[in-house]
């Protein structure tokens, strides 16, 4: 891996964190804004 690819990988890493059930209701609007469909999408997103 050359230096350019390594630097790119550091800036594009995907991270995951456990979101407690009591914080789930505010997670989507906080990170993705006001999307009307979030209430139907949220269970599918957190189910994986």
Instruction: Give the pLDDT band (50/70/90) at residue 33.
Output: confident
Please report the pLDDT score of residue 26 as a whole number. 80
CA 35/CA 32 separation, integer angstroms: 7
Structure tokens at 41: 């999408």
Measure Cα distances from 13 to 6, 19, 32, 34 in Å.
Answer: 11, 19, 18, 25
Lowest mean pLDDT, pick from 5-9, 22-26, 33-37, 42-46: 5-9
Q: Where are the domains of the chain?
A: 19-48
Show Cβ contacts of residue 46 under 8 Å, excluding neighbours closer than 6 positions.
19, 24
Over pLDDT 70: what percentage of the chain? 75
Tens digits of residue pLDDT in 6-22: 565 667 778 888 878 88
């Amino acid at each position: 891996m050359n230096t350019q690819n390594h630097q790119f990988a550091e800036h594009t890493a995907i991270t995951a964190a456990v979101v407690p059930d009591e914080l789930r209701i505010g997670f989507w609007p906080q990170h993705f804004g006001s999307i009307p469909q979030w209430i139907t999408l949220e269970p599918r997103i957190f189910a994986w």
